[in-house]
Amino acid sequence: MISFTPSEEQQMIVNTVRQFANDEIREVYRDCEESGEIPDDLVNTAWEFGLIATAIPEEFGGLGEEQSILTNSLATEELAWGDLAIAMKILCPSLVAYPILDMGTDDQKKKYLPAFCEEKYKAATAALIEPRFNFDATELSTKAKLDGGDYVLNGEKCYVPLAADADVILVYAAENGGCQGFIVEKGTKGLEIGEREGNMGIKALPTYELSLKDCRVPKENRLGGEAGCDYNRILNRSRVALSAMAVGLARASFEYARDYAKDRTAFGEPIASRQAIAFMLAENAIEVDAMRLMTWEAAWKLDRKEDATKEASLAKMYADDMVLLVTDRGVQVLGGHGYIREHPVELYLRNGRGIATFLGMAIV
């Protein structure tokens, strides 16, 4: 039965997260951006919502509820509406938690999942992207090779969020013609975490380059053990999550520009009374909704355990294009003021540019 209404439970989650994004994230996001740091208290408060722990089975300390990528997308939009960097930090542990929950061996679940059900936030991360312009997630340069009882990892990664704080890094590498995940624990020999990166936007989220030089991990650390992982599904989840973030970000920019245009007077009337401005805002409203509905459909398909490569890729491609268009218009509607850091629209534009780059930085 076709329906566009979130369930009551989903709506409750949306309301709670929206309130938090409005009251707490938006209070501090600019300071975070300028200082490059996100307060632990803020992240711990968000952690208490149990966005990740909810779906982890009780035997590992979670609530054991059914996992829903669609519900996650709804919550993700709200967090990203608050601030993209803070949303990414809050959700970063899911880069490890969900692949292990979905595809990990029993031993991997037992060993790693309880950490995500603790009271305080636990940093964990994944390393997927590689530092080259023609990076292709389906053909990784980082290699894994079986040598006796170990896998030996070699390669370079970048944009690894929270790498310095994470106890566990899920490294994706090419192996036997496919791509697989390898659980690398902090301090493993051969794992070198580089300097914190400096990026155009999403500056509050620390990201790092990472190099693997003959980094050995036990055979049991291959995600999913001998069966391996469904890498394509991991990528599709990531596409959906980033699309949901793009929706939240685009909506934030659209709303700010809309309110500004109603308030700002020129030639004796609000600039929103001019069609040149009003039509940009109308198109923004349409595209934000279109992005959202495409994201929902892809998430819905993933929840049904179907192959959603087409839907997720199209949703992500559309989100990449539209988040830039909408956030650029946000700056344009504010004119000179849009360029000034007193208003958030310049930040939204810089963050929007990152969505297209950051495949694999989100997996909710």
Q: How far apart are CA 301 and CA 286, in angstroms?
A: 23
Question: Binding segment for another protein among 16-24, 34-42, 128-136, 244-252 (CB under 8 A)?
Answer: 128-136
Residue pair 183/217 in contact (Cβ under 8 Å)? The answer is yes
- Would you say 10 or 105 has its CB closer to another protein? 10
Among 30, 219, 262, 337, binds another protein (CB under 8 A): 262
Least CB distance to another protein at residue 247 (A): 12
- Would you say 33 or 328 has its CB closer to another protein? 328
- Distance spanning both ends of the chain, measured CA to CA: 26
DSSP string for residues in 91-148: HTTHHHHHHHHHH--HHHHHHHGGGGGSSS----EEE---SSTT--TTS-SSEEEEET
Among 57, 131, 190, 270, binds another protein (CB under 8 A): 270
Question: Binding segment for another protein among 48-56, 141-149, 175-183, 281-289 (CB under 8 A)?
Answer: 281-289
Query: Does 244 help bind another protein (rule: CB under 8 A)?
Result: no
- Would you say 216 or 237 has its CB closer to another protein? 237
Q: How far is CA 114 from CA 35, 110, 199, in A?
A: 32, 7, 33
Least CB distance to another protein at residue 332 (A): 16
Among 164, 313, 324, 332, binds another protein (CB under 8 A): 313
Q: How far apart are CA 305 and CA 300, in angstroms?
A: 9
Q: How far apart are CA 49 and CA 12, in angstroms?
A: 12
Residue pair 291/250 in contact (Cβ under 8 Å)? The answer is yes
Provide CB contacts within 8 A for 249, sequence distance 6+.
80, 81, 84, 323, 327, 348, 351, 352, 355
Least CB distance to another protein at residue 339 (A): 23
- Would you say 164 or 285 has its CB closer to another protein? 285
Q: 205-228: buried (b, 16+ CB within 10 Å) or exposed (e) per residue?
A: bbbbbbbbeebbbeeebbbbbeeb
Nearest to 84 by CA among 352, 358, 301, 360: 352
**Rg of the chain (C-alpha set):** 21
Among 294, 331, 355, 363, binds another protein (CB under 8 A): 294
Question: Residue 74 — φ and ψ, nearest 5°?
Answer: -60, -45
Question: Binding segment for another protein among 89-97, 182-190, 191-199, 312-320 (CB under 8 A)?
Answer: 312-320
Residues 46-105 contacting another protein, CB under 8 A: 70
Q: Amino acid letter at 218?
A: P
Q: Amino acid letter at 267?
A: F
- Would you say 32 or 280 has its CB closer to another protein? 280
Query: Does 279 help bind another protein (rule: CB under 8 A)?
Result: yes
Residues 135-164 contacting another protein, CB under 8 A: 135-138
Residues 317-336 contacting another protein, CB under 8 A: 317-318, 321
Least CB distance to another protein at residue 188 (A): 29
Residue 39 CA, chain-centre distance (Å), reads: 19
Q: How far apart are CA 309 and CA 291, in angstroms?
A: 16
Residues 208-237 contacting another protein, CB under 8 A: 232, 235-236
Least CB distance to another protein at residue 240 (A): 12
Question: Binding segment for another protein among 16-24, 55-63, 169-177, 304-312 (CB under 8 A)?
Answer: 304-312
Binding site for another protein (CB under 8 A): 1-7, 10, 70, 133-138, 232, 235-236, 239, 258, 261-262, 270, 272-273, 275, 278-279, 281-283, 285-287, 289-291, 293-294, 296-297, 300-301, 309-315, 317-318, 321, 359
